Structure 1
Protein backbone atom coordinates (compact mmCIF):
# COMPACT_ATOMS: atom_id res chain seq x y z
CA UNK A 1 0.00 0.00 0.00
CA UNK A 2 2.82 2.37 0.89
CA UNK A 3 4.56 1.59 -2.38
CA UNK A 4 1.40 2.44 -4.35
CA UNK A 5 1.12 5.76 -2.51
CA UNK A 6 4.77 6.50 -3.29
CA UNK A 7 4.20 5.75 -6.98
CA UNK A 8 1.16 8.04 -7.07
CA UNK A 9 3.17 10.78 -5.38
CA UNK A 10 6.00 10.35 -7.87
CA UNK A 11 3.55 10.51 -10.77
CA UNK A 12 2.10 13.77 -9.43
CA UNK A 13 5.57 15.28 -9.08
CA UNK A 14 6.42 14.29 -12.66
CA UNK A 15 3.17 15.79 -13.92
CA UNK A 16 3.88 19.00 -12.01
CA UNK A 17 7.36 19.30 -13.54
CA UNK A 18 5.94 18.74 -17.01
CA UNK A 19 3.32 21.41 -16.34
CA UNK A 20 6.08 23.86 -15.34
CA UNK A 21 7.88 23.03 -18.58
CA UNK A 22 4.75 23.79 -20.59
CA UNK A 23 4.28 27.06 -18.69
CA UNK A 24 7.80 28.11 -19.71
CA UNK A 25 6.91 27.37 -23.34
CA UNK A 26 3.69 29.37 -23.07
CA UNK A 27 5.32 32.46 -21.57
CA UNK A 28 8.16 32.16 -24.09
CA UNK A 29 5.71 32.30 -26.99
CA UNK A 30 3.72 35.10 -25.36
CA UNK A 31 6.81 37.25 -24.80
CA UNK A 32 8.64 36.77 -28.07
CA UNK A 33 5.47 36.76 -30.20
CA UNK A 34 3.88 39.60 -28.25
CA UNK A 35 3.26 41.75 -31.30
CA UNK A 36 1.17 39.00 -32.90
CA UNK A 37 -0.93 38.73 -29.73
CA UNK A 38 -1.49 42.49 -29.68
CA UNK A 39 -2.54 42.45 -33.35
CA UNK A 40 -5.00 39.68 -32.49
CA UNK A 41 -6.44 41.78 -29.67
CA UNK A 42 -5.03 39.58 -26.92
CA UNK A 43 -3.51 41.66 -24.17
CA UNK A 44 -3.43 40.31 -20.61
CA UNK A 45 -2.32 43.15 -18.37
CA UNK A 46 -1.68 41.06 -15.26
CA UNK A 47 0.49 38.61 -17.18
CA UNK A 48 2.38 41.49 -18.78
CA UNK A 49 3.22 42.96 -15.37
CA UNK A 50 4.35 39.60 -13.99
CA UNK A 51 6.58 38.89 -16.97
CA UNK A 52 8.06 42.40 -16.88
CA UNK A 53 8.94 41.89 -13.21
CA UNK A 54 10.64 38.59 -14.07
CA UNK A 55 12.59 40.35 -16.79
CA UNK A 56 13.72 43.17 -14.48
CA UNK A 57 14.75 40.90 -11.61
CA UNK A 58 16.07 37.79 -13.35
CA UNK A 59 16.50 38.71 -17.01
CA UNK A 60 14.40 35.70 -17.92
CA UNK A 61 13.68 36.97 -21.44
CA UNK A 62 17.02 38.59 -22.17
CA UNK A 63 17.76 35.75 -24.57
CA UNK A 64 15.61 33.33 -26.54
CA UNK A 65 17.47 30.35 -25.11
CA UNK A 66 16.87 31.03 -21.41
CA UNK A 67 13.22 30.01 -21.21
CA UNK A 68 13.81 27.21 -23.71
CA UNK A 69 16.58 25.74 -21.58
CA UNK A 70 14.42 25.89 -18.45
CA UNK A 71 11.59 24.18 -20.34
CA UNK A 72 13.88 21.37 -21.49
CA UNK A 73 15.34 20.90 -17.99
CA UNK A 74 11.92 20.46 -16.40
CA UNK A 75 10.85 18.25 -19.30
CA UNK A 76 13.89 16.01 -18.77
CA UNK A 77 13.21 15.77 -15.04
CA UNK A 78 9.61 14.78 -15.71
CA UNK A 79 10.75 12.02 -18.06
CA UNK A 80 13.08 10.48 -15.46
CA UNK A 81 10.17 9.15 -13.42
CA UNK A 82 8.20 7.90 -16.40
CA UNK A 83 7.11 4.27 -16.32
CA UNK A 84 5.45 3.05 -19.46
CA UNK A 85 4.57 -0.09 -21.33
CA UNK A 86 7.53 -1.80 -22.93
CA UNK A 87 7.67 -1.71 -26.71
CA UNK A 88 9.92 -4.18 -28.50
CA UNK A 89 9.81 -2.10 -31.70
CA UNK A 90 11.56 0.75 -29.94
CA UNK A 91 15.15 1.22 -31.14
CA UNK A 92 17.94 3.62 -30.27
CA UNK A 93 18.00 4.76 -33.89
CA UNK A 94 14.40 5.97 -33.64
CA UNK A 95 15.17 7.65 -30.34
CA UNK A 96 18.22 9.47 -31.73
CA UNK A 97 16.25 10.58 -34.79
CA UNK A 98 13.41 11.98 -32.69
CA UNK A 99 15.80 13.62 -30.22
CA UNK A 100 17.98 15.33 -32.83
CA UNK A 101 14.95 16.43 -34.84
CA UNK A 102 13.42 17.86 -31.68
CA UNK A 103 16.59 19.76 -30.82
CA UNK A 104 16.76 21.30 -34.29
CA UNK A 105 13.11 22.34 -34.35
CA UNK A 106 13.13 23.56 -30.77
CA UNK A 107 16.39 25.50 -30.59
CA UNK A 108 17.25 26.37 -34.19
CA UNK A 109 14.07 28.21 -35.18
CA UNK A 110 14.86 31.72 -33.92
CA UNK A 111 15.18 33.05 -37.47
CA UNK A 112 11.52 32.29 -38.13
CA UNK A 113 10.57 35.31 -36.04
CA UNK A 114 12.22 37.52 -38.69
CA UNK A 115 10.58 36.05 -41.78
CA UNK A 116 9.26 38.60 -44.32
CA UNK A 117 5.65 37.92 -43.42
CA UNK A 118 3.16 39.48 -41.06
CA UNK A 119 3.86 39.22 -37.31
CA UNK A 120 0.95 36.82 -36.97
CA UNK A 121 2.27 34.51 -39.69
CA UNK A 122 5.79 34.59 -38.27
CA UNK A 123 4.46 33.82 -34.80
CA UNK A 124 2.34 30.95 -36.13
CA UNK A 125 5.27 29.36 -37.97
CA UNK A 126 7.55 29.82 -34.97
CA UNK A 127 4.99 28.34 -32.57
CA UNK A 128 4.33 25.32 -34.79
CA UNK A 129 8.02 24.46 -35.09
CA UNK A 130 8.56 25.08 -31.38
CA UNK A 131 5.65 22.82 -30.46
CA UNK A 132 6.76 20.10 -32.86
CA UNK A 133 10.27 20.19 -31.41
CA UNK A 134 8.91 20.04 -27.87
CA UNK A 135 6.74 17.01 -28.69
CA UNK A 136 9.69 15.20 -30.29
CA UNK A 137 11.86 15.93 -27.24
CA UNK A 138 9.08 14.66 -24.99
CA UNK A 139 8.73 11.45 -27.01
CA UNK A 140 12.47 10.79 -27.06
CA UNK A 141 12.76 11.54 -23.34
CA UNK A 142 10.01 9.07 -22.46
CA UNK A 143 11.54 6.43 -24.74
CA UNK A 144 15.01 6.93 -23.27
CA UNK A 145 13.61 6.57 -19.76
CA UNK A 146 11.86 3.32 -20.69
CA UNK A 147 14.94 1.95 -22.43
CA UNK A 148 17.22 2.70 -19.50
CA UNK A 149 14.81 1.18 -16.98
CA UNK A 150 13.85 -1.94 -18.91
CA UNK A 151 16.99 -2.43 -21.01
CA UNK A 152 14.83 -3.65 -23.89
CA UNK A 153 17.55 -3.92 -26.47
CA UNK A 154 19.52 -6.57 -24.59
CA UNK A 155 16.74 -8.11 -22.51
CA UNK A 156 13.60 -8.29 -24.62
CA UNK A 157 11.81 -10.69 -22.26
CA UNK A 158 12.80 -8.82 -19.09
CA UNK A 159 14.78 -11.81 -17.81
CA UNK A 160 17.17 -9.71 -15.73
CA UNK A 161 14.40 -8.01 -13.74
CA UNK A 162 12.52 -11.26 -13.16
CA UNK A 163 15.49 -13.39 -12.05
CA UNK A 164 16.55 -13.89 -8.44
CA UNK A 165 19.23 -15.73 -6.48
CA UNK A 166 18.32 -19.35 -5.85
CA UNK A 167 19.76 -22.06 -3.64
CA UNK A 168 23.26 -23.05 -4.72
CA UNK A 169 24.16 -25.28 -1.75
CA UNK A 170 23.80 -29.05 -1.86
CA UNK A 171 22.03 -29.95 1.40
CA UNK A 172 22.11 -33.73 1.43
CA UNK A 173 21.15 -36.21 4.14
CA UNK A 174 20.20 -39.88 4.30
CA UNK A 175 16.57 -39.11 3.37
CA UNK A 176 16.96 -36.25 0.91
CA UNK A 177 16.32 -35.96 -2.80
CA UNK A 178 18.49 -33.34 -4.49
CA UNK A 179 17.58 -32.04 -7.93
CA UNK A 180 20.27 -30.16 -9.90
CA UNK A 181 19.21 -26.90 -11.52
CA UNK A 182 20.61 -24.11 -13.65
CA UNK A 183 19.46 -20.49 -13.47
CA UNK A 184 20.55 -17.07 -14.69
CA UNK A 185 21.09 -14.22 -12.23
CA UNK A 186 22.75 -10.85 -12.92
CA UNK A 187 23.74 -12.00 -16.40
CA UNK A 188 25.57 -15.09 -15.13
CA UNK A 189 24.56 -18.74 -15.29
CA UNK A 190 24.57 -20.49 -11.91
CA UNK A 191 24.41 -24.15 -10.85
CA UNK A 192 21.83 -24.68 -8.15
CA UNK A 193 19.99 -27.33 -6.20
CA UNK A 194 16.42 -28.06 -5.18
CA UNK A 195 16.88 -29.81 -1.86
CA UNK A 196 13.96 -31.93 -0.66
CA UNK A 197 15.38 -32.78 2.74
CA UNK A 198 12.35 -34.70 4.03
CA UNK A 199 10.56 -36.70 1.36
CA UNK A 200 8.39 -38.48 3.93
CA UNK A 201 6.06 -35.48 3.91
CA UNK A 202 5.15 -36.41 0.31
CA UNK A 203 5.85 -34.42 -2.83
CA UNK A 204 3.65 -33.32 -5.69
CA UNK A 205 4.93 -32.52 -9.18
CA UNK A 206 2.73 -30.30 -11.34
CA UNK A 207 3.25 -29.35 -14.95
CA UNK A 208 1.72 -29.42 -18.39
CA UNK A 209 2.21 -32.49 -20.62
CA UNK A 210 5.70 -32.49 -22.05
CA UNK A 211 7.10 -29.98 -19.56
CA UNK A 212 9.74 -32.42 -18.31
CA UNK A 213 8.26 -33.61 -15.01
CA UNK A 214 9.34 -37.21 -15.48
CA UNK A 215 12.79 -36.41 -16.82
CA UNK A 216 13.74 -33.70 -14.34
CA UNK A 217 11.97 -34.79 -11.16
CA UNK A 218 10.41 -38.26 -11.15
CA UNK A 219 13.43 -40.07 -12.57
CA UNK A 220 15.70 -38.41 -10.01
CA UNK A 221 13.34 -39.38 -7.20
CA UNK A 222 13.32 -43.02 -8.32
CA UNK A 223 17.08 -43.27 -8.76
CA UNK A 224 17.98 -41.54 -5.50
CA UNK A 225 15.39 -43.42 -3.41
CA UNK A 226 16.56 -46.76 -4.80
CA UNK A 227 20.22 -45.86 -4.18
CA UNK A 228 19.37 -45.05 -0.55
CA UNK A 229 17.39 -48.25 -0.02
CA UNK A 230 13.90 -46.77 0.25
CA UNK A 231 10.67 -47.84 -1.38
CA UNK A 232 8.70 -45.19 -3.26
CA UNK A 233 5.05 -44.98 -4.22
CA UNK A 234 4.38 -42.95 -7.37
CA UNK A 235 0.82 -42.14 -8.31
CA UNK A 236 0.00 -40.92 -11.80
CA UNK A 237 3.51 -41.24 -13.21
CA UNK A 238 3.82 -42.44 -16.81
CA UNK A 239 5.13 -45.95 -17.33
CA UNK A 240 8.21 -44.73 -19.21
CA UNK A 241 9.32 -42.80 -16.12
CA UNK A 242 9.39 -45.97 -14.03
CA UNK A 243 10.88 -48.29 -16.63
Structure 2
Protein backbone atom coordinates (compact mmCIF):
# COMPACT_ATOMS: atom_id res chain seq x y z
CA UNK A 1 0.00 0.00 0.00
CA UNK A 2 1.49 3.39 -0.94
CA UNK A 3 2.23 5.54 2.09
CA UNK A 4 0.25 8.41 0.56
CA UNK A 5 -2.93 6.34 0.79
CA UNK A 6 -2.81 6.20 4.59
CA UNK A 7 -1.56 9.64 5.52
CA UNK A 8 -3.81 11.50 7.96
CA UNK A 9 -5.01 14.08 5.46
CA UNK A 10 -5.84 11.35 2.94
CA UNK A 11 -8.19 9.32 5.15
CA UNK A 12 -11.90 10.01 4.59
CA UNK A 13 -13.62 10.69 7.90
CA UNK A 14 -16.43 8.53 9.21
CA UNK A 15 -19.90 10.10 9.58
CA UNK A 16 -18.99 10.97 13.20
CA UNK A 17 -15.51 12.10 12.11
CA UNK A 18 -13.90 9.01 13.60
CA UNK A 19 -13.67 8.42 17.34
CA UNK A 20 -11.70 9.78 20.27
CA UNK A 21 -11.47 7.29 23.13
CA UNK A 22 -10.53 8.55 26.58
CA UNK A 23 -9.78 6.23 29.48
CA UNK A 24 -8.93 6.91 33.12
CA UNK A 25 -8.05 4.63 36.01
CA UNK A 26 -8.09 6.10 39.55
CA UNK A 27 -5.38 3.79 40.94
CA UNK A 28 -2.84 2.00 38.74
CA UNK A 29 -0.44 -0.40 40.47
CA UNK A 30 2.51 -2.59 39.51
CA UNK A 31 0.28 -5.02 37.60
CA UNK A 32 -0.92 -3.76 34.22
CA UNK A 33 -4.49 -2.45 34.30
CA UNK A 34 -6.83 -1.11 31.65
CA UNK A 35 -7.53 2.61 31.65
CA UNK A 36 -11.20 2.59 32.54
CA UNK A 37 -13.10 3.94 35.53
CA UNK A 38 -13.85 0.51 37.01
CA UNK A 39 -10.17 -0.40 37.34
CA UNK A 40 -8.39 -3.71 36.83
CA UNK A 41 -8.58 -5.71 33.61
CA UNK A 42 -11.18 -4.67 31.06
CA UNK A 43 -14.07 -7.10 30.53
CA UNK A 44 -14.75 -7.68 26.83
CA UNK A 45 -18.29 -8.77 25.96
CA UNK A 46 -17.84 -12.35 24.70
CA UNK A 47 -21.02 -12.47 22.59
CA UNK A 48 -23.76 -9.98 21.80
CA UNK A 49 -25.97 -9.66 24.86
CA UNK A 50 -28.62 -7.46 26.43
CA UNK A 51 -27.09 -5.25 29.11
CA UNK A 52 -28.43 -3.20 32.01
CA UNK A 53 -27.72 0.21 33.50
CA UNK A 54 -28.07 1.16 37.16
CA UNK A 55 -26.71 3.74 39.58
CA UNK A 56 -25.40 3.57 43.11
CA UNK A 57 -27.60 6.63 43.83
CA UNK A 58 -31.39 6.87 43.86
CA UNK A 59 -30.98 10.46 42.59
CA UNK A 60 -30.07 9.19 39.12
CA UNK A 61 -33.65 8.74 37.99
CA UNK A 62 -36.32 10.39 35.85
CA UNK A 63 -37.55 12.48 38.79
CA UNK A 64 -34.15 12.85 40.47
CA UNK A 65 -31.56 15.61 40.69
CA UNK A 66 -28.82 13.57 39.00
CA UNK A 67 -28.69 11.90 35.62
CA UNK A 68 -32.16 11.27 34.22
CA UNK A 69 -31.31 9.56 30.95
CA UNK A 70 -28.15 8.05 29.48
CA UNK A 71 -27.01 7.30 25.96
CA UNK A 72 -25.07 4.08 25.45
CA UNK A 73 -22.68 3.92 22.49
CA UNK A 74 -21.33 0.67 21.09
CA UNK A 75 -21.57 -1.95 18.37
CA UNK A 76 -24.62 -4.00 17.43
CA UNK A 77 -24.16 -6.44 14.56
CA UNK A 78 -20.78 -4.88 13.83
CA UNK A 79 -22.32 -1.44 13.29
CA UNK A 80 -21.88 1.68 15.44
CA UNK A 81 -25.12 2.14 17.36
CA UNK A 82 -26.48 4.05 20.33
CA UNK A 83 -29.43 3.50 22.64
CA UNK A 84 -31.05 5.84 25.16
CA UNK A 85 -32.29 4.63 28.53
CA UNK A 86 -34.18 6.32 31.36
CA UNK A 87 -32.46 5.76 34.69
CA UNK A 88 -34.37 4.32 37.64
CA UNK A 89 -31.94 4.95 40.46
CA UNK A 90 -30.52 1.77 41.98
CA UNK A 91 -32.99 -0.43 40.09
CA UNK A 92 -31.43 -1.96 36.94
CA UNK A 93 -32.92 -0.94 33.59
CA UNK A 94 -32.50 -3.38 30.70
CA UNK A 95 -31.42 -2.14 27.28
CA UNK A 96 -33.37 -3.27 24.23
CA UNK A 97 -30.40 -3.90 21.93
CA UNK A 98 -27.88 -6.73 22.17
CA UNK A 99 -24.48 -5.01 22.22
CA UNK A 100 -21.24 -6.82 21.39
CA UNK A 101 -19.08 -3.93 22.56
CA UNK A 102 -19.69 -0.86 24.75
CA UNK A 103 -17.68 2.22 23.82
CA UNK A 104 -19.13 4.83 26.13
CA UNK A 105 -22.04 5.85 28.36
CA UNK A 106 -22.98 9.54 28.56
CA UNK A 107 -25.44 11.49 30.65
CA UNK A 108 -28.04 12.69 28.18
CA UNK A 109 -30.31 14.68 30.50
CA UNK A 110 -29.95 15.60 34.16
CA UNK A 111 -31.70 17.34 37.02
CA UNK A 112 -30.50 20.30 39.05
CA UNK A 113 -27.26 18.52 39.93
CA UNK A 114 -26.30 18.53 36.21
CA UNK A 115 -24.25 15.31 36.50
CA UNK A 116 -24.65 11.76 37.76
CA UNK A 117 -25.09 11.62 41.54
CA UNK A 118 -23.79 8.06 41.82
CA UNK A 119 -21.61 5.62 39.93
CA UNK A 120 -23.51 4.43 36.87
CA UNK A 121 -22.74 0.94 35.60
CA UNK A 122 -23.40 -0.96 32.37
CA UNK A 123 -23.43 -4.68 33.18
CA UNK A 124 -25.08 -8.08 33.07
CA UNK A 125 -26.15 -10.21 36.01
CA UNK A 126 -27.42 -9.08 39.39
CA UNK A 127 -26.78 -5.90 41.36
CA UNK A 128 -27.11 -4.82 44.98
CA UNK A 129 -28.14 -1.21 45.60
CA UNK A 130 -27.26 -0.44 41.98
CA UNK A 131 -23.74 -1.90 42.18
CA UNK A 132 -23.06 -5.05 40.11
CA UNK A 133 -22.45 -8.16 42.20
CA UNK A 134 -19.88 -9.67 39.83
CA UNK A 135 -16.84 -7.66 38.75
CA UNK A 136 -16.35 -9.60 35.52
CA UNK A 137 -19.87 -8.66 34.38
CA UNK A 138 -19.16 -4.90 34.32
CA UNK A 139 -18.53 -3.37 30.88
CA UNK A 140 -18.53 0.36 31.63
CA UNK A 141 -18.62 2.64 34.65
CA UNK A 142 -19.45 6.33 34.82
CA UNK A 143 -17.84 7.61 38.02
CA UNK A 144 -19.72 10.05 40.27
CA UNK A 145 -19.89 13.50 38.67
CA UNK A 146 -18.11 12.52 35.44
CA UNK A 147 -21.10 12.65 33.09
CA UNK A 148 -19.36 10.08 30.89
CA UNK A 149 -17.72 6.70 31.28
CA UNK A 150 -13.96 6.87 30.73
CA UNK A 151 -13.58 3.47 29.13
CA UNK A 152 -10.76 3.91 26.60
CA UNK A 153 -11.93 1.07 24.31
CA UNK A 154 -13.07 1.06 20.69
CA UNK A 155 -13.90 -1.82 18.36
CA UNK A 156 -13.58 -1.07 14.64
CA UNK A 157 -16.93 -1.71 12.91
CA UNK A 158 -17.28 -4.64 10.52
CA UNK A 159 -16.24 -3.79 6.98
CA UNK A 160 -14.19 -0.79 8.08
CA UNK A 161 -10.51 -0.19 8.70
CA UNK A 162 -9.52 2.08 11.56
CA UNK A 163 -6.43 4.28 11.46
CA UNK A 164 -5.02 5.42 14.79
CA UNK A 165 -3.69 8.93 14.18
CA UNK A 166 -2.87 10.07 17.70
CA UNK A 167 -2.23 8.66 21.20
CA UNK A 168 -1.57 10.35 24.51
CA UNK A 169 -1.39 9.88 28.26
CA UNK A 170 -1.06 11.71 31.57
CA UNK A 171 0.05 10.97 35.13
CA UNK A 172 0.34 13.75 37.70
CA UNK A 173 2.46 11.86 40.26
CA UNK A 174 6.14 12.86 40.20
CA UNK A 175 7.18 9.93 42.41
CA UNK A 176 5.43 7.24 40.40
CA UNK A 177 6.19 7.13 36.68
CA UNK A 178 3.89 4.98 34.58
CA UNK A 179 4.13 3.12 31.31
CA UNK A 180 1.04 3.52 29.11
CA UNK A 181 0.61 1.03 26.28
CA UNK A 182 -1.82 0.97 23.37
CA UNK A 183 -3.02 -2.39 22.12
CA UNK A 184 -4.80 -3.91 19.17
CA UNK A 185 -6.79 -7.05 20.06
CA UNK A 186 -8.08 -9.34 17.31
CA UNK A 187 -9.25 -12.99 17.52
CA UNK A 188 -8.11 -13.24 21.13
CA UNK A 189 -4.57 -12.06 20.35
CA UNK A 190 -3.26 -8.66 21.36
CA UNK A 191 -0.23 -6.63 20.28
CA UNK A 192 1.21 -3.37 21.51
CA UNK A 193 1.63 -0.72 18.82
CA UNK A 194 2.59 2.32 20.91
CA UNK A 195 3.99 3.05 24.37
CA UNK A 196 4.54 6.16 26.48
CA UNK A 197 6.29 6.69 29.81
CA UNK A 198 5.18 9.70 31.87
CA UNK A 199 5.55 11.12 35.38
CA UNK A 200 4.07 14.40 36.57
CA UNK A 201 3.35 15.21 32.94
CA UNK A 202 1.43 14.34 29.84
CA UNK A 203 2.62 13.27 26.43
CA UNK A 204 0.92 13.10 23.05
CA UNK A 205 2.19 11.36 19.92
CA UNK A 206 0.88 11.82 16.40
CA UNK A 207 1.43 9.23 13.67
CA UNK A 208 2.80 10.45 10.34
CA UNK A 209 1.77 7.04 9.01
CA UNK A 210 -1.38 6.05 10.96
CA UNK A 211 -1.61 2.62 12.57
CA UNK A 212 -4.13 0.45 10.64
CA UNK A 213 -6.60 -1.61 12.68
CA UNK A 214 -8.83 -4.16 10.88
CA UNK A 215 -12.58 -4.37 11.24
CA UNK A 216 -13.68 -6.37 14.27
CA UNK A 217 -10.49 -5.61 16.22
CA UNK A 218 -10.41 -3.70 19.50
CA UNK A 219 -8.13 -0.83 20.44
CA UNK A 220 -7.61 -0.22 24.15
CA UNK A 221 -5.16 1.21 26.68
CA UNK A 222 -3.29 -0.33 29.61
CA UNK A 223 -0.94 1.17 32.18
CA UNK A 224 1.61 -0.04 34.72
CA UNK A 225 3.06 1.94 37.63
CA UNK A 226 6.87 1.76 37.68
CA UNK A 227 7.05 3.07 41.25
CA UNK A 228 5.66 1.91 44.59
CA UNK A 229 2.43 3.94 44.52
CA UNK A 230 -0.95 3.72 42.80
CA UNK A 231 -1.36 6.97 40.84
CA UNK A 232 -4.34 8.05 38.77
CA UNK A 233 -3.59 7.64 35.07
CA UNK A 234 -5.43 8.74 31.94
CA UNK A 235 -4.88 8.04 28.27
CA UNK A 236 -6.52 8.57 24.90
CA UNK A 237 -6.35 7.73 21.24
CA UNK A 238 -7.97 9.07 18.08
CA UNK A 239 -9.02 6.75 15.29
CA UNK A 240 -10.37 7.53 11.83
CA UNK A 241 -12.49 5.03 9.89
CA UNK A 242 -12.63 4.31 6.19
Query: TM-score band, normalised by the shorter chain?
Result: under 0.3
Q: In proportion to residue count, which structure has more helix? A: 1
Structure number with greater CO (CA < 8 Å, separation at least 6) is: 2
Larger radius of gyration between Structure 1 and Structure 2: 1
Provide the TM-score with structure 1 as the length reference.
0.20
Q: In proportion to residue count, which structure has more strand? A: 2
